[in-house]
Amino acid sequence: MHHELNHFLSGVEKRAFRMAQLATRDTDQALDIVQDTMLVLSQKYADKNQQEWPALFFRILQNKIIDWHRKQTVKNRIFSWFGFFEDFLENNNSENGNHNRYQSSP
């Protein structure tokens, strides 16, 4: 069974990588997604019928890609908030600094 699974994974590896690369536009992220997909299939579904592997594999891959996009959306939202707060603090500090300078002038 182990040999058959390795043969299956080597057969879908390039296509899966290309799909993940197109979806993420990031080679490293695509490699991670494909590797995670292969791990999940081998750990949880290796005992399934071999005819089920392609559908399982590509469903897992699709879900991993969707999860990656969700995480990116959250990450981008958080970083945009930090950018907003940094801009706010910067503007607030510069206004307070200017205000204090005017108060200390005679």
Give the pLDDT of residue 5. Answer: 96
For 21, 33, 44, 52, the CA distances from 69, given in Å and listed in that order, are 12, 11, 23, 26
Per domain, the residue ranges of the chain are 2-104
Which residue is it, tokens 């939202």? 77
Q: Residue range 70-86: average pLDDT?
A: 77
Q: What is the pLDDT of residues 2-59, one digit of tens each?
A: 899 999 999 999 999 999 999 999 999 999 999 999 999 999 999 999 999 999 999 9
Q: What is the pLDDT of residues 92-101, one digit of tens each?
A: 666 555 544 4
**Whole-number Å distance between alpha carbons of 31 and 45:** 20
Give the pLDDT of residue 78. Answer: 76
Give the pLDDT of residue 75. Answer: 82
For 45, 56, 86, 103, the CA distances from 20, given in Å and listed in that order, are 21, 16, 34, 59
Instruction: Please check the confidence at residue 89 and state whether its pLDDT lies above 80.
Output: no
User: Does residue 35 come out as left (phi exceeding 0), alpha (psi in the -120 to 50 range) or beta?
Assistant: alpha
Residue type, position 100, single letter: N
Terminal Cα distance for the chain, rounded: 87
Give the pLDDT of residue 102. Answer: 46
